Chains A and B, each alone.
Chain A
Amino acid sequence: MNNVFRAWKLGSVELKLYLREPSAFFFTLVFPLLLMLLFGSIWGNQPFPEQFFGYIDYSAAAFIGIVILTTGIMNLTVNIASYREKGILRRFMATPLTPVSFLMAEMGSILVITSMGVALLLLAGLVIFGMHFWGSPLEAAVAFLLGCGAMAGLGFIPASLAPSARSGAVIANIMYFPMLFLSGAALPQDILPDALRTVAEAFPLTHSIRLLRGIWLGGRLAEYPVEIAVLAGTLLAGAFFASRMFRWD
């Protein structure tokens, strides 16, 4: 309980620090929005032939996926690695804070930033393109949280070890770009060759986007046991890795 309380206190301070310096995450939120505006202006949101949904309805999950990917892998890793580089983590090490509480705090504060990005997307989709949603809002929220958790779980791995912001950014990029292009986030997966699509099955983001899209278009969580297992497993594996390997300095 104390660990949760500490994570809560630290997380709320971290969130304030983020909001005090919006330049750190501004691009994270604006990049997916720009993509939506660009492709939305090309394709519009008219229902596809013989389908009930249009381009924006279909791609909302992909844009949300980009936000989740960027905050979970990039922002989380670079922020923590820069704390390690500056000796801020050493200061926390001399308190009863545990690595897992620390990472919970970081994940929680980044979750709020991610939600802001998603809210921005939803607003633009609704107002500009008349986006539709056929699923259960509660189940969509669960799918969103699972995706955030899985991306943060992946981010925990470089975040636990990277000695500097620069090295953290390098490792984060190596994880970021394959997922951005192969998981159906920035590019539709149907244009990929089969081999690459098979590779992309190993990426948690692929499962996150498929789950979100399924719920978005009226599906139910119960129809996606594999996706849910992969996402929850990624979070648990990342947390387990961090609890063993996390370095304060």
Chain B
Amino acid sequence: MEDIVISAVDLRKSYGDTVALDGLDLSVHRGEVFGLVGPNGAGKTTTIDCIAGMRRPDSGSLSTLGLDPVGDSRELHTRVGLQQQESELPERMKVGESLRLFSSLFGVEEPGMGLLEKVGLGKKLDACFSDLSGGQKRRLFVALAMVHDPELVMLDELTSGLDPRGRRDLWSLVDGIRGSGRTVVLSTHYMDEAQKLCDRVAIVHGGRVVALDTPDALVREHCPGMRLILGCGQGFEPGDALEVEGVLGACMQGDTCVMDLRDAGVVVPVIQALSGAGASLGDLHTEVPTLEDVFMVVTGREYGETDE
């Protein structure tokens, strides 16, 4: 049991008539990078706020690092680092100043330059907050969430609104935190980000967790099929492919044949059968489903529709 750092059972939270959490369950293990994914409005931020003691759930049981997040919020805040989606610093506050201030608020030694260099702001010590770019602000907030060396780091919508370069910078930052043995919980509406960064992923939809596992296992379970795209020449008949066990469909698109396969294990038999039948084959590539496809299967809707 001791390696469970967050355990939430049947969390519920409404804002007026809007239901944000509708019976959300999850548990997070020590040392993992755990992702909450889903569209905007799915309940990810409310979940993070409840776990971090920033909001009180209406009902349900919740324990973070063995503490009650609301009742023990001050102790919890000394052990959790939180990067919030909507948050700012005073415009004229300088980067170095903010780091010193937050160190003293947490009652810890100043972390020195190392932390700022790690987030790529080593040269921005005297820059005012309002002069930083969106990505730099986000990285500063990650640094501020780390000044007190927390056991649990929570990153809410770490990369939303950033350009690809800014996203990659933050991804490597998360990889750095992972190596340090801390537990990371991050929320994102980018499925590719979750797939790349997270050890385990909870798909949040309509205020509850609709699927939870490693990204690979989620794909295997919910979208086992894959697509094989094969360039083909003389002597090729799509009908030959359909005779192979596990080929669900095949059709020609110009010089290429697109086949839907039951799972990855069908690729080799198909190739053997076709070349055995004397067909000349060209380039081959596959399309493997992603978390985005999993989302569509488990929620029955197109990803990208907002979840209001």
Contact status of A90 and B97, CB under 8 A, knowing A6-B104, A20-B92: no
Assembled-state Cα–Cα distance A63/B34 (Å): 60
Check B87–A91 contact: CB distance below 8 A: yes
Q: Is A88 an interface residue (CB 8 A)?
A: yes
Check B92–A9 contact: CB distance below 8 A: no
Which residue in A2, A6, A17, A91 is a CB contact (below 8 Å) of B84? Answer: A91
* Chain B proximity of A206: nearest CB distance (Å): 34
Lowest 3 CB-CB distances: which A-B pairs, in order?
A9-B104, A87-B87, A95-B105
- Given the complex, which residues of B lie within 8 Å of A87, measured CB to CB? 84, 86-88
* Chain B proximity of A151: nearest CB distance (Å): 23
Assembled-state Cα–Cα distance A197/B80 (Å): 54
- Given the complex, which residues of B lie within 8 Å of A6, measured CB to CB? 104-105, 107
Check A88–B89 contact: CB distance below 8 A: yes
Check A93–B54 contact: CB distance below 8 A: yes
Cβ-closest chain A residue relative to B84: A90
Assembled-state Cα–Cα distance A98/B75 (Å): 12
Assembled-state Cα–Cα distance A98/B105 (Å): 10
Q: Is A86 an interface residue (CB 8 A)?
A: yes
Check A5–B104 contact: CB distance below 8 A: yes
Cβ-closest chain A residue relative to B75: A96
Which residues of A are at the interface with B, using a C-beta cutoff of 8 A?
Answer: 2, 5-6, 9-10, 13, 16-17, 20-21, 83, 86-88, 90-98
- Given the complex, which residues of B lie within 8 Å of A9, measured CB to CB? 101, 104-105
Check B102–A95 contact: CB distance below 8 A: yes
Q: How many A-B residue pairs have CB under 8 A?
A: 62
* Chain A proximity of B148: nearest CB distance (Å): 9
Q: Is B74 an interface residue (CB 8 A)?
A: yes
- Given the complex, which residues of B lie within 8 Å of A16, measured CB to CB? 97
- B85-127 CB mask vs A (1 if < 8 Å, else 0) is 0111111110001000110111100000000000000000000
- Given the complex, which residues of B lie within 8 Å of A83, measured CB to CB? 90
Q: Is B77 an interface residue (CB 8 A)?
A: yes
Cβ-closest chain A residue relative to B145: A94
Cβ-closest chain A residue relative to B105: A95
Q: Is B160 an interface residue (CB 8 A)?
A: no
Check B101–A10 contact: CB distance below 8 A: yes
Interface positions of B from 142 to 177, Cβ below 8 Å from A: 144-145
Q: Is B82 an interface residue (CB 8 A)?
A: yes
Contact status of A2 and B107, CB under 8 A, knowing A87-B84, A94-B52: yes
Assembled-state Cα–Cα distance A16/B74 (Å): 27
Q: Is B78 an interface residue (CB 8 A)?
A: yes
Cβ-closest chain B residue relative to A92: B105
**A to B CB contacts below 8 Å, 11 in the list:** A17-B90, A21-B91, A87-B87, A88-B87, A88-B88, A90-B87, A91-B88, A93-B54, A95-B77, A95-B105, A96-B105
Contact status of A86 and B92, CB under 8 A, knowing A95-B102, A95-B105: no
* Chain A proximity of B170: nearest CB distance (Å): 18
Cβ-closest chain B residue relative to A21: B92
Check A86–B105 contact: CB distance below 8 A: no
- Given the complex, which residues of A lie within 8 Å of B88, measured CB to CB? 86-88, 91
